[in-house]
Amino acid sequence: MGIDEVGRGSWAGPLVVGAVVLGGMVIDGLTDSKKLTKKRRESLDFEIRKKAKSIGLGWVDSNEIDEIGLSEALKLATRHAVEQINVPYHEIIIDGNVNFLTGTAKENIVKTMKKADLLIPCVSAASIVAKVARDRYMTQQDKAHRGYKFNNNVGYGTAAHQVAINKLGVTKLHRLSFAPLKKYFTSQTPPDVSVTTVNDVTTKQIGDSAEDVAAKYLKKKGHKILNRNWKTKFCEIDIVSSKSDTIYFTEVKYRKKPDQGGGLGAITPRKIRQMKFAVKLYVLSNKINDVNLRMSAISLSGQPPTVDDFVKI
């Protein structure tokens, strides 16, 4: 199996990883997708899809990249691509020098190779199908986001693209964690805790106390606590617990007074996206298989904190 990625350095649009098993099929003209004309790439893409034994594409969008970082996004996209391969294979060749499957069951059959997209046919095929798929997606997005010329720059930071951003601002496709665009970033999620004091006790200390109460609540409900405050670069899972055949990933939200809107009101769509990717990273790093996964939230209020609600997301 060959693996290659497209869109790593783009300012906008998804990261796409291609995975291809040729299974002994010979396709003339395979090489690094960047060395081919658009017409030739599309012609080869058609032939690859017709002849290859199996093809997988792993997508991670711009919001996801901003939330988990590019390195973790590459791992996730690679894993998604490999999961779609439905034929036997004995080796995985990844273009470059980083094994994006480290920590998975596949890591020991991976070989990394610089210029593999130029030298290894299955890797060349992966680079072609990934680039054609991504380019077509960005061309479609050009119709929805006029003025950025995504059909020409496919999201990369060309001079014309930069002029368009300066004039029109950024879109949901733009990666605001990238250095040239960081000035456009505004957090939609308020900090979870404050460092101000209330009667000489910080709200962070109260928040920690609330997590203790939440953990005790879960234990009484039959949960086994696996982790507390499991962190990624962009998100933290407050409590990871297991019950029966399910692992729960619980966000703890505390409000001093119940009439402040309730802690569950802070579980925004952005927070849910962060939680989802934190869960994926937890599963990946802990090599978890064949277990049900469930996100949940506990709302607490008062001093001392008491549980108001426990919901499954």
**CA dihedral of 30, 33, 36, 39, whole degrees rounded to 10:** 90
199-250: per-residue pLDDT in tens?
444 444 555 678 889 999 999 999 999 998 887 665 678 999 999 889 999 9
In the block, residue with structure tokens 């060749």: 93
Q: What was the pLDDT predicted at 210?
A: 85
As beta bridge partners, residue 225 has 241
Token pair of 154, please? 């496919």
77 sits in the region (left: phi over 0; alpha: psi -120 to 50; else beta) called alpha
pLDDT of residue 155: 96
pLDDT at 229: 85
| Cα(22)–Cα(53) distance, integer angstroms | 5
Spatial neighbors of 269 by CB under 8 A, at least 6 apart, are none
pLDDT per residue over 17-48, tens digit each? 999 999 999 999 999 999 999 999 999 999 99
pLDDT tens digits, 161-187: 999 999 999 999 999 999 899 888 753
- Which distant-in-sequence residues (6+ apart) come within 8 Å of 150 by Cβ? 12, 13, 138, 139, 141, 142, 173
251-309, pLDDT tens digit by residue?
Answer: 988 876 554 444 455 567 777 888 888 888 888 878 887 789 999 999 888 877 888 88
CB 89 within 8 A of CB 25: no
Cα–Cα distance for residue pair 144/58, rounded to 1 Å? 23
Query: What does the alpha-carbon distance between residue 236 and residue 218 come to, in Å, rounded to a whole number?
Result: 18
Give mean pLDDT, residues 138-147: 92
The CA distances from residue 143 to 138, 149, 180, 204, in Å, are: 9, 9, 24, 47
pLDDT of residue 233: 60
Helix or strand (DSSP H, E) at 66:
helix 62-68
Res 100 pLDDT > 90: yes
**pLDDT average, residue stretch 2-6:** 97
Q: Tell me what pLDDT residue 205 has.
A: 54
What is the three-class DSSP state of 260? helix
Higher-confidence residue: 254 or 4?
A: 4
Q: CA 39 to CA 205: how far, in whole Å?
A: 61
The confidence score (pLDDT) of residue 287 equals 81
3-state secondary structure of 201: strand
**DSSP state for residue 48 in the 8-state scheme:** H
Higher pLDDT, 128 or 313: 128
pLDDT (tens digit per residue) in 79-99: 999 999 999 999 999 999 999
Which domains does the chain show, CATH number per domain? 2-184 (3.30.420.10), 197-312 (3.40.1350.10)
3-class SS of residue 126? helix
Residue 291, phi then psi, degrees to nearest 5: -135, 140
Q: Which of 85, 128, 81 is nearest to 101 (CA)?
A: 81
